[in-house]
Structure 1
Amino acid sequence: MFHKEGYKIISVTLVLFLGINVASYVAIQNDEWQIAIFSITLIFLILILQFFRNPKRKTKVDDHTVVAPVDGKVVVIEEVFEKEHFNDNRLQVSIFMSPINVHVTRHPINGDVVLSKYHPGKYLVAWHPKASEENERTTVVVKNSGIEVLYRQIAGALAKRIVNYAKEGEKVVQGSDSGFIKFGSRVDVFLPIGTEINVTLDQKVKGGESIIANV
Structure 2
Amino acid sequence: MCIACLAVLQESSEAFTETKKNPTYRTSQIERRGFLLAAMSFSFLGTKANAQIPGANRINLPDTPDDGPEIPEFVTQFPGMLGGFLGLATMFQGTPVIFYDPGWISRVGGPSSPGFRFMRAHEYAHHRLSHAMRSIMALNQGNFLFGYTQEVEADCWAAETLALQGDGAAVRAGANLYANVLPPFDTQGRPGGQVRLETISRCAR
The higher relative CO (CA closer than 8 Å, separation ≥ 6) is in: 1
Whichever structure has more strand as a proportion of its residues is 1
More helix by share: 2
Q: Same fold (TM over 0.5)?
A: no
Greater gyration radius: 1
TM-score normalised to structure 2 length: 0.32
